[in-house]
Amino acid sequence: EIVMTQSPATLSVSPGERATLSCRTSQNVNSNLAWYQQKPGQAPRLVIYGASTRATGIPARFSGFGSGTEFTLAISSLQSEDFAVYYCQQYNNWPPYTFGQGTKLEIK
């Protein structure tokens, strides 16, 4: 099973600033990595797939980078609606699909 490690657990950033979230995998997953956003009481929402491709309707301020075992989700010029928990997920080696433990992006 591929283990996913996200850092930091909590990230405090001011609106308008840039946020950088990290995800590390225990094995090479190539570019088979997705990012999801989850707000309280809501289902997850796909943000990035293929490590760097934005999902439908996701603003250009969201960017994904990386391949292999190191990945980054960057959000430039944070808006109020961006504060949420973000999860990475690998889909290179399955079953099982595995998720990171999440990074909570909070308002500073």
Partner 1 sequence: EVRLVESGGGLIQPGGSLRLSCAASGFTVSSNYMTWVRQAPGKGLEWVSLIKSGGSTYYADSVKGRFTISRDNSKNTLYLQMNSLRAEDTAVYYCAKDYDSSGYFDYWGQGTLVTVSS
Which residues lie near partner 1 (CB under 8 A)? 32, 34, 36, 38, 42-46, 49, 55-56, 87, 89, 91-92, 94-102
Residue whose CB is less far from partner 1, 36 or 71: 36
d(CA 17, CA 74): 11
d(CA 104, CA 25): 19
Residue whose CB is less far from partner 1, 83 or 90: 90
Q: How far is the CB of 46 from partner 1 (least distance, A)?
A: 5
Residue whose CB is less far from partner 1, 19 or 98: 98
d(CA 22, CA 4): 10
Q: How far is the CB of 20 from partner 1 (least distance, A)?
A: 20
Q: How far is the CB of 13 from partner 1 (least distance, A)?
A: 21
Q: How far is the CB of 97 from partner 1 (least distance, A)?
A: 4
Residue whose CB is less far from partner 1, 16 or 95: 95
Question: What is the per-residue burial (b if ≥16 Cβ within 10 Å, else e) of 50-78?
Answer: ebbebbeebeeebebebeebebbbebeeb
* CA 63 from centre of chain: 10
